[in-house]
Amino acid sequence: MSPWVLDLFTAGGRNLLRHKLRSALTLLGVFFGVAAVITMLGIGEGAQRSVLQEISGLGLNNILIDSVQPDASQLPDSQRNTTGRRRGMRILEYGVTDTDVEQLRSACPEAEIRVAHRVKASAYAYGERLDADVLGVPPDYFTLFDSKLIEGRWLHPFDSLHFRSVALIPESLTASIRHPRDGGHPHVKIGTYAFEVVGIQRTMAPRGNRTIYIPFETAEQVFGTSSVKREAGSMEFTRTQIGQVVLHCEDEQELKRTAAVVKRTMERNHPIVDYALTVPVEILEARQRTQRILNLVLLVIAGISLLVGGIGIMNIMLAVVTERIPEIGIRRAIGATERDILFQFLAETITLSTLGGVLGCLAGMILVPLTEIWTGWNGVITPSSVIVSLAVSWVVGVFFGLAPAVRASKLDPVDALRHG
149 and 34, same domain (yes or no):
no
Confidence band (pLDDT; 50, 70, 90) for 168?
very high
Segment 126-135 shows an average pLDDT of 88
Q: Where are the beta strands (DSSP E) in 266-340?
A: 275-278
In this prediction, residues 342-371 reach a mean pLDDT of: 86
> Looking at residue 88, what is its pLDDT?
52
What are the tens digits of pLDDT across the range 170-220? 988 887 777 666 666 788 999 889 999 999 998 888 888 889 999 999 999
Last residue of a domain, one of 215, 250, 273: 273
Which residue has better confidence, 292 or 264? 264
Q: What is the CA radius of gyration of the chain?
A: 34
* Other CB atoms within 10 Å distance of the CB of residue 11: 14
Q: Determine the structural domain holding residue 355 and report its residue range.
A: 3-54+286-419
* 251 in the same domain as 314: no
Residues 290 and 235 in one domain: no
Identify whether 254 is part of a domain: yes
Spatial distance between the Cα atoms of 52 and 38, rounded to a whole number of angstroms: 21
Element (H, E) at 245: strand 244-248
Residues 247 and 293 in one domain: no
Residues 403 and 307 both lie in one domain = yes
pLDDT in tens, 369-414: 887 777 777 788 888 888 888 888 888 888 888 888 888 888 887 7
Q: Is residue 281 part of a domain?
A: no
Query: What confidence tens digit (pLDDT) does each residue in 18-54 have?
Result: 777 777 888 888 888 888 888 888 887 887 777 777 7
The predicted pLDDT at position 83 comes to 41
Does 211 lie in the same domain as 96? yes
Considering the domain architecture, whether residues 50 and 75 belong to the same structural domain is answered as no
Q: Of 216, 238, 273, which residue constitutes the final position of a domain?
A: 273
Q: 245, 273, 301: which is the final residue of a domain?
A: 273
**Is 378 contained in some domain?**
yes
Q: Are residues 74 and 206 in the same domain?
A: yes
Cβ neighbourhood burial of 275 (10 Å; 0-12, 13-18, 19+): buried
pLDDT reading at 2 higher than 80: no
Please tell me the predicted confidence (pLDDT) of residue 341.
83
Domain membership flag for residue 62: no
Same domain, residue pair 106 and 173: yes
**Is the Cα dihedral 156, 162, 166, 169 positive or negative?**
positive
Whole-model pTM: value is 0.68
Number of domains in the chain: 2
Inside any domain, residue 280: no
Question: Is position 93 within any domain?
Answer: yes
Residues 155 and 251 in one domain: yes
Give the neighbor-by-neighbor strand order of the sheet with 234-239. Answer: 89-93, 234-239, 226-231
One domain for residues 176 and 240: yes
Tell me: do 126 and 242 sit in the same domain. yes
Could you tell me if residue 293 is inside a domain? yes
Question: Cα–Cα distance between 357 and 37 in angstroms, integer?
Answer: 10
Q: Alpha-carbon distance 30 to 354, whole Å? A: 9
- Whether 63 maps to a domain, the answer reads no
Burial class for 101, CB neighbours closer than 10 Å (0-12, 13-18, 19+): middle
In whole angstroms, give the CA distance from residue 125 to residue 94: 30
Residue 191 falls in which region: left (phi positive, over 0), alpha (psi -120 to 50) or beta:
left
